[in-house]
Structure 1
Amino acid sequence: MNQANHLIGNVISASARLGLGYAERMLTDVSADQFARFATADGRVIESNHPCFILGHLSLYPSRVVSELGGDASAIQPTETFQKVFSKDAKCVDDPDGTLYPSMDEVVAAFRSGYEKAIDAVEQATDDQFVGENPNEAMRGKFPTIGAAHAFYLGGHVTLHMGQFSAWRRMMGLGPA
């Protein structure tokens, strides 16, 4: 592979790998019974995104990255349930009985496999693939090219939500990761 023709993908993947590693650290000491729960601080429930919602929401985007770069995203395509409960329009809710969201194992597996496949796709893509117009009309004003969109989906979007995860950890008494 000619590295000179894969510079953009390598730049995007470096940030994506950092975000994926950060997510793995955030999962340290998080139990399945806490995973879809709102945090509490001083006996008060804090309505802020919990890890289940964060990782589930993030798991919706890697298939877009892979398919827009011409890859087969069928193995990481979000299910109808994931689309419904984790979309950008869905509201994060507390799930004390573990019945509203998919299991921790399922959500974490979807997040990991999706981001690993998306990272592989951007590393294999040529620079020419990233300069094309963003096919997502709603996001085109913010991210005019495929490269700009994918840099956000695999970089800024992940780290933005990892900040939420980090705050949740601290409210739950788990400390920094």
Structure 2
Amino acid sequence: MNHTNHVIGNIISASARLGLGYAERMLTGVSADQFARFATADGRVIESNHPCFILGHLSLYPSRVVSELGKDASSVQPSETFNKLFSKEAKCVDDPDGTVYPSMDEVVSAFRSGYEKAIDAVEQAPDDIFLGENPNEAMRSKFPNIGGAHAFYLGGHITLHMGQFSAWRRMMGLGPA
């Protein structure tokens, strides 16, 4: 393999691996019964995204990265349920009885497998594909090319939501990870 032809993908994947590692640390000590719960502080419920919503939301994006790089994304394609519950238009809700959201195992598995597949796809992609026009018209004004969009989805987007996860952990008394 000519590594000089895969520079952009390796740059993007380094950030993605950092975000994925951060997510793994954030999961430390989180129980299944806490996973889809709003945090409480001083007896008050804080309506802020919980880990289930955060990881479920993030799990929607790897299939886009994989397919836009010309690879088969069927194994990480989000279900209709995931799309409905975790889209950018969806509202995060408290799920005390575990009846609204899929299980912690299902959500974490979708998140992990999606990002692992997306990381593999960007690392294998030749540099020139990242220079192509972003096919997502709604995001094109922010990210004119595929490389910029994928750098965001696999970097900034993850870390933005990990900040939410970190704040949730602290409100739940789990401390930093």
Instruction: Name 1:52's counterpart in structure 2.
Output: 52
RMSD: 0.2
Identity of aligned residues (%): 88
**TM-score, with structure 1 as normaliser:** 1.00
2:144 & 2:93 partners in 1: Cα distance?
A: 33
Within 2, Cα distance between the matches of 1:59 and 1:20? 11
1:111 matched to which residue of 2?
111
Unmatched tracts of structure 2, length 5 or more: none
Matching residue of 2:74: 74
For 2:19, the equivalent position in structure 1 comes to: 19
Instruction: Give 1:27-46 correspondences, 5 Å limit.
Output: 27-46=27-46
Per-residue CA deviation, residues 6-48 of structure 1 (Å, 9 max, x unaligned), is 0000000000000000000000000000000000000000000
Q: How does 1:97-136 map to 2 (within 5 A)?
A: 97-136=97-136
Q: Give the letter aligned to residue 85 of structure 1.
A: L
Match for residue 140 of structure 1?
140
1:176, CA displacement in angstroms? 0.2
Q: Which amino acid aligns with 2:7?
A: L
Give the Cα–Cα distance (whole angstroms) in 2 for the partners of residues 141 and 95 of structure 1: 36
Question: Equivalents in 2 of 1:80, 1:134: separation in Å?
Answer: 24
In 1, distance between residues paired with 2:129 and 2:172?
43
Q: Distance in 2 between matches of 1:135 and 1:103?
A: 33
* Structure 1 consecutive aligned stretches of length 4 or more whose deviation exceeds 2 Å: none
Q: Letter of the aligned partner of 2:24 in structure 1?
A: E
- After superposition, the C-alpha distances for 1:120-143 in whole angstroms (9 at most, x for unaligned) are 000000000000000000000000
Give yes or no for the alignment of 1:156 onto 2:156: yes
Q: CA deviation at 1:80?
A: 0.3
What residue in structure 1 maps to residue 94 of structure 2?
A: 94
Q: Measure the CA separation in 1 of the matches of 2:75 and 2:100.
A: 24
Specify the code of the residue in structure 1 equivalent to 2:13. Answer: S
| TM score, norm. by length of structure 2 | 1.00
| CA distance in 2 between partners of 1:143 and 1:111 (Å) | 23
